[in-house]
Chain A
Amino acid sequence: AQSVAQPEDQVNVAEGNPLTVKCTYSVSGNPYLFWYVQYPNRGLQFLLKYITGDNLVKGSYGFEAEFNKSQTSFHLKKPSALVSDSALYFCAVRDIAGSYIPTFGRGTSLIVHP
């Protein structure tokens, strides 16, 4: 079985400050990990993914995420937040030997204050 936890429903950060959106996962084997962003009244857009290799993954719009196998985490980060980063963020996992169906977290609402 696979699962994802996003422990924070909402994250508030001031513009220009670093941001972190947390994600922890559980899989039987090894994971493929994904972050998606959803702007209001839109579908989800892909941000970045971890497949293999370097634990630090860089993605769109200046976002990055660090895969930590020992802590089973894949936290999303950005060094300097923008008001336009305000959106709903979803973490997702697939077991590399499991189903094609990913498991999504419940989402974290990021609010960046001017």
Chain B
Amino acid sequence: DVKVTQSSRYLVKRTGEKVFLECVQDMDHENMFWYRQDPGLGLRLIYFSYDVKMKEKGDIPEGYSVSREKKERFSLILESASTNQTSMYLCASSFADRAKTQYFGPGTRLLVL
């Protein structure tokens, strides 16, 4: 079974802190994604990576950066956390084939105080 794991299920941080969210997949997928999910807004793409060190901005990249140094690991960084970044963060991965399914991690619920 494909497994996508995220480093934390719940996180509480203070405004201004630097926050790292990590995602690891074990199926050698080329593509990895970071989404945030907010009630009524569905899933919004923050960043997409199609290869090591390669990335594309999604719909809402402001205030976020990403790192992909190894194929299996995709990190989301909040440079200076703000209260409006309180959200559920979901990581996903898939093969580089448009017919292929995305596999999602369990999510990280981040609260910024």
Contact = CB atoms under 8 A, between A and B. Distances in A.
A43 B105 contact: yes
A98 interface: yes
Interface in B22-75: 31, 33, 40-43, 45, 48, 50, 56, 58
Contacts of A43: 4, 90, 92, 104-107
Q: How large is the interface on B (under 10, 10 to 19, 20 to 34, 35 or more residues)?
A: 20 to 34
A100 B98 contact: yes
A94 B99 CA distance: 8
Among A42, A43, A45, A92, which residue has the most Cβ atoms of chain B within 10 A? Answer: A43
B13 interface: no
B1 to A, nearest CB: 12
Contacts of B109: 41
B98 A96 contact: yes
Nearest to A106: B42
Q: How large is the interface on A (under 10, 10 to 19, 20 to 34, 35 or more residues)?
A: 20 to 34
Q: Dominant SS at the B interface?
A: strand
Interface in B65-97: 90, 92, 94, 96
A104 B42 contact: yes
Nearest to A104: B43
Nearest to B88: A41
A51 B99 contact: yes
A58 to B, nearest CB: 15
B40 A106 contact: yes
B50 A100 contact: yes
A53 B51 CA distance: 31
A100 B48 contact: yes
A90 B42 contact: yes
Interface string A39-63: 0011111100101000000000000
Nearest to B106: A43
B98 A45 contact: no
A76 to B, nearest CB: 15
